[in-house]
Amino acid sequence: MPLPSGAQALQRIRKQFVDWFGLPEDRMAVKNPPRRAAQADLVLKTGSSVFVIEYKGVAEAVHVSAAVEQVKHYAVALGRGAVPVVAVPYMGDVGRSICERAEVSWMDLSGNAAIAASGVRIVVSGRPNLFKRRGRPSTVFAPKSSRVVRQLLLDPTKRYTQRELASATRLDEGFISRIVRRLESDQLLDRDESGAVKPANPNLLLDDWRASYDFSKHTVLKGHLAARSAEEVIERVHKSLSKRKVDHALTGLAAAWLLTGFAGFRLVTVYWREPLGAKDLSELGFSDEQRGANLWLVQPNDDGVFDGTRPGKPMRCVHPLQVYLDLKAQPERATEAAAELRKRLLAWSAK
């Protein structure tokens, strides 16, 4: 379905409120709202509740975050009881989390919503995205180009020239220039007078990266290794890969445990730079069994996953950034582990 114009989107939002509350549209209009609140895209009244609605045509983290701040500002002008609502064509997981953290209600034109007001609670989930964008892929988060994002987030306070980024990421300057322009157009970079750049808001940049990240794009071999504990699995894999001089590093739940000490784990996930042959896997004792798998051997779709690795015993870990991304696809207590990892190792100032 094509993305509606701004006016069409607002009409759809009005209609949705009519359907939810069963009130004629002319009865929901708020006459002469305070000047500051009048800057909002919509102000609707249903019974004792007043909803202040800000619509954004895109739902990337930076735009949702901006909408949250704007609509909260408008709601203050209407006084106590005003309900701020962010609306987008389709709200993804990152946008939902941003709204939840800010205690701001949200809805999308695809039919999903999480709205809370006095005596009112509307929760709709599971509706598919009716406005999937075709073309213009999120190239800044593609395997090779995400090296640029990774480098910027390894130290979000540091500014880089494009030449420095090219050297650090092993990419040519022309490619870097295209990625930097795209990041700037998405308001994710801050450029100083000399042309050097750094993340405008590292938290939003990481949110957008995680929303686009797809672990299944790597080559993942899932199987089982007979061992008394997950720690023994790590030791045996490390010994085997070191013997064969195969570059490798932990990620996922095992890495989160080594980096933060949070929670036990059963699944061990290891990146390796070159795959082993059937004979090598047999000598390791690896059985290709997805059911009950306790070991995932992963050949990455780009060597950038090894940038910024951290030392660890017995095996080094990929950088916490990569661990955080990979936990998105992990079972067990991965969601909690990701939250703990971000709080302790990726908690950047919003400034």
Same domain, 55 and 116: yes
Q: Which of 127-141, 154-168, 281-295 has the lowest mean pLDDT?
A: 127-141
133 domain residue, yes or no:
no
208 and 222: one domain? no
Query: Which of 43-52, 171-180, 223-232 shows the lowest per-residue confidence on average (mean pLDDT)?
Result: 43-52
pLDDT digits (tens, 9 = 90+) for 223-269: 999 999 999 999 999 999 999 999 999 999 999 999 999 878 999 99
Number of domains in the chain: 3
Q: Are residues 340 and 224 in the same domain?
A: yes
Q: What does pLDDT average to over the chain?
A: 89
Cα 140 from Cα 138, distance rounded (Å): 6
CB 270 within 8 A of CB 252: no
Same domain, 108 and 205: no
Q: Are residues 175 and 224 in the same domain?
A: no
In a domain, 350, yes or no: no
Average pLDDT over residues 107-134: 90
Type of residue numbered 199: P
Q: Are residues 300 and 231 in the same domain?
A: yes
Same structural domain, 83 and 22:
yes
Same domain, 205 and 219: no
What CATH number corresponds to the domain at position 258? 3.30.460.40
Q: Residue 255 belongs to what domain range?
A: 215-345
Out of 212, 231, 261, a domain closes at 212
| Residue 134 is assigned to a structural domain of this protein | no
pLDDT at 138: 53
Q: Residue 104's closest CA among 57, 54, 62?
A: 54
What is the predicted pLDDT for the residue at 351?
A: 47
Q: What is the pLDDT at residue 161? A: 95
User: Is residue 62 located within the same domain as residue 181?
Assistant: no
**What residues contact 227, with CB distance under 8 A and at least 6 apart?**
233, 236, 294
- pLDDT exceeds cutoff 80 at 36: no
What is the pTM assigned to this prediction? 0.75
Per-residue pLDDT, 136: 45
Q: 292-343 pLDDT, tens per residue?
A: 899 999 999 999 999 999 988 889 999 999 999 999 999 989 999 999 999 9
- Specify the pLDDT at position 31: 67
Which of 67, 95, 124 is the last residue in one of the domains?
124
Average of per-residue pLDDT across 34-61: 84
> Is the model more confident about 279 or about 270?
270
Q: Which of 205, 230, 186 is nearest to 325 (CA)?
A: 205
229 with 328, same domain: the answer is yes
Give domain status of residue 129, yes or no. no
Peptide bond before residue 143 is cis, with ω within 30 degrees of 0 = no
Domain boundary pick from 101, 124, 147: 124
The answer to whether residue 350 scores a pLDDT higher than 60 is: no
Instruction: CATH number of the domain at 197, please.
Output: 1.10.10.10
Residues 205 and 227 in one domain: no
- Residues 68, 146, single domain; the answer is no
DSSP code at position 135? S
What value does the mean pLDDT take over residues 34-47? 80
pLDDT grade for 23, boundaries at 50, 70 and 90: confident
Cβ contacts of 37-40, under 8 Å, gap ≥ 24? 37/74, 37/75, 37/77, 37/78, 37/82, 39/74, 40/70, 40/71, 40/74
